[in-house]
Amino acid sequence: MSIPLTQYWRLLRRYLRPQGPKVLLLGILLLTGIGLQLYYPTVLQRFIDQAGAGTPGLRLLALAALFLGLAIANQLLALWATYLGQEIGWRATNELRAELTEHLLGLDLSYHKDRTAGEMIERIDGDVTPLANFFSAFVVQVAANALLLAGVLAVLYTVDWRAGLALSGFAALHLTVLLRTRHSAMPGWQASRQASSQFFGYLGERLAGLEEIRANGAEHAVRLGFVQALRTRLQAELKAGRGMAIMLVVSFGLLAVGTSTAFGVGLALVRAGAISVGTAYMIFFYTEQLRRPTEQIVQQMQDLARAGASISRIGDLLAMRSTLAVHGEGAPLPDGPLALAVDRLTFGYIPGVPVLENLSFALKPGEVLGVRGRTGIGKSTLARLVARLYDPVGGSIRLGGVDVRSVRLADLRRRVGVVTQEVQIFRGTLRDNLTLFDATVADSRIWAALDELGLREWAASLPNGLDTELASGGGLSAGEAQLLAFARVFLKDPGLVILDEASSRLDPVTEQRLEQAIDRLLLGRTAILIAHRLSTLRRAGQVLSLQSGPEEVVAG
């Protein structure tokens, strides 16, 4: 697949525009450095010609000192430009990573269910990393080298039009070949990025299931799969590398032709008396300056091919759209407890295989519905549909009289609180886990919520209170994790609460706290309680019994 150069330019313009002053400073540094590189070969020419003419030693020493000073100044400018270019590149790619992360979070749950966490990390970070080199090195080297190339050729024409014409032909041939060979390398790098994504997806999935793998003695099978994934990735990398090797061989051959051309033109002009020996050396020096930018442009063509593969995959990802589109301009939900009306709801994860079919019920604001049924009958699916993690195949769900498909997802998530059996604990403090890393939530509000739920004593009993560091996925008992989840939901102050088997894994120490927290959480809110425990279902004014045939709603 060929990526048009205009697409690269649009990407640069989009992510470099916010850093306009830095890009402008970088341009000034590049232009100054190019001016120095074009000027100091003329100092060499004067030194050689004046040395041959018997100029006094002090004059020659002054020229040598001037040349040395210009060379040092050029290196310092190059160092500053490289540092600035790297900063610009990483800021741009971090912005792109943030955009990709936000886009992925906006995709519906069905997309994430089909992909592993490792694959998602590779799409956000692995595909973007080659663009850091593209943003920084492309700006620093390709732009500078293109300007230097044009400047060298302009100076050569002023020296002798024949030298300028000969080396212009060489430069044009070299760049034409590079641009043509660039397209042949891109498919290899696209396959390489895909193989890398699959490898990290496999690795992340197996690491996440390490306990299960060890408990069942599946280490050998996992190792075999790991080797196979590595072998696939190696073959893709080798194929991509072959395309780059062809570019290098062609480039080095053309560079040898350019050096030979410079020597031949210089020798012919000196013999014809058209130029001096110093000028001939200056032509050779400028040819070497042509060689350096073209070599670096070759390297940049490799990075451009890698960047092209990444841009293609990133473009495919950004082109994906969530199926959970908002219909209309986003209708507001009323304040307070929300009424819920489910009308002929039908849904299945596999087309043609419904999990729920023609389900209907209604809840008035503040009412509590209990949901029971055997495992796999669709209780958790109902919770996901009400929270709009999926859209139904048929029927509708209305909250506060508003179809959930007409409500902005952010507003819906804020007004519907869900507590599941498996509570996710993130690496961070208790405060971070309660607020989900929202630094705008004041500690006073957190303690007030814990007081309301009767959980202050539990939180205060932890080693450092709200500053207690929690490990990712652990560090709390199942009951304590449920307490944390209740506090999360309470801080949102939703109008509808869904407890999905949220009290099925109680330990004796926290059972009483959990029961009190549930009572306080449900106060003044509409609720759906999905549970097997009678102590939880007794709170429901009516109970929905899900079964293979028609569902039944009975009074509590």
State the pLDDT at residue 36.
84
- To which residue do tokens 């195949």 refer? 393
Tokens of 25: 């400073």
E strand intervals along 364-456: 368-372, 394-399, 402-403, 416-420, 428-429
Report d(CA 346, CA 382) in Å as an integer.
10
Neighbours of 290 (CB within 10 A): 25
Tokens of 333: 């939900």
Single out the residue of 34, 62, 70 nearest to residue 46, CA to CA.
Answer: 62
Confidence of residue 374 (pLDDT cuts 50, 70, 90): confident
Residue 4: pLDDT over 70:
no
Query: Would you list the DSSP string of 183-208?
Result: HHHHHHHHHHHHHHHHHHHHHHHHHH
> What torsion do the CA atoms of 530, 531, 535, 538 make, to the nearest 10 degrees?
40
Residue 555: pLDDT over 50:
no
State the pLDDT at residue 31.
81
Angle at CA 331, nearest 5°, toward 328 and 336? 165
Q: 360-364, 373-377, 437-441 — which is least confidently predicted?
A: 373-377
Q: Which helix (H) or strand (E) holds 359?
A: strand 356-363
Report d(CA 551, CA 358) in Å as an integer.
9
Angle at CA 349, nearest 5°, toward 344 and 351? 80
Report d(CA 240, CA 105) in Å as an integer.
32
Q: Choose between 159 and 521: higher pLDDT.
A: 521
Per-residue pLDDT averaged across 184-193, rounded?
67
Cα 543 to its chain centre, rounded Å, is 45
Per-residue pLDDT averaged across 43-51, rounded?
77
Q: Choose between 114 and 16: higher pLDDT.
A: 16
In this predicted model, what pLDDT tens digit does every residue of 105-129 receive, in sequence order?
A: 888 777 777 777 767 777 788 778 7
H helices of 320-388, where?
379-386
State the pLDDT at residue 369.
92
In this predicted model, what pLDDT tens digit does every residue of 61-102 receive, in sequence order?
A: 888 888 888 889 888 988 888 888 888 888 888 888 888 888
Q: Domains, the chain, ranges and CATH? A: 5-319 (1.20.1560.10), 340-555 (3.40.50.300)
State the pLDDT at residue 343.
93
Confidence of residue 364 (pLDDT cuts 50, 70, 90): very high
State the pLDDT at residue 396.
92
Q: Choose between 508 and 517: higher pLDDT.
A: 517
Q: Which residues of 393-427 are buried (b: 16+ CB within 10 A; e: fewer)?
A: eebebbbbebebbbbebeebbebbbbbbbebebee
Give phi and psi for 363, each to the nearest 5: -130, 135
Per-residue pLDDT averaged across 147-176, rounded?
77
Residue 471: pLDDT over 80:
no
Per-residue pLDDT averaged across 363-379, rounded?
88
Report d(CA 294, CA 175) in Å as an integer.
8
Confidence of residue 301 (pLDDT cuts 50, 70, 90): low
Residue 196: pLDDT over 80:
no
Per-residue pLDDT averaged across 10-31, rounded?
82
Cα 238 to its chain centre, rounded Å, is 26
Give phi and psi for 320, each to the nearest 5: -70, 140
State the pLDDT at residue 556.
47
Which region holds residue 500: left if phi is over 0, alpha if psi is between -120 and 50, else beta?
beta
Confidence of residue 497 (pLDDT cuts 50, 70, 90): very high
State the pLDDT at residue 339.
93
Global pTM reads: 0.64
Residue 170: pLDDT over 80:
no
Confidence of residue 528 (pLDDT cuts 50, 70, 90): very high
Question: What's the Cα-to-Cα distance from 93 to each of 68, 107, 157, rounded to whole Å?
Answer: 38, 21, 41
State the pLDDT at residue 211.
66
pLDDT, mean over the chain: 79
Q: Choose between 389 and 507: higher pLDDT.
A: 389
Q: 285-299, 317-331, 373-387, 483-497 — which is least confidently predicted?
A: 285-299
State the pLDDT at residue 526.
93
Cα 163 to its chain centre, rounded Å, is 49
State the pLDDT at residue 186.
59
Tokens of 14: 């989009």
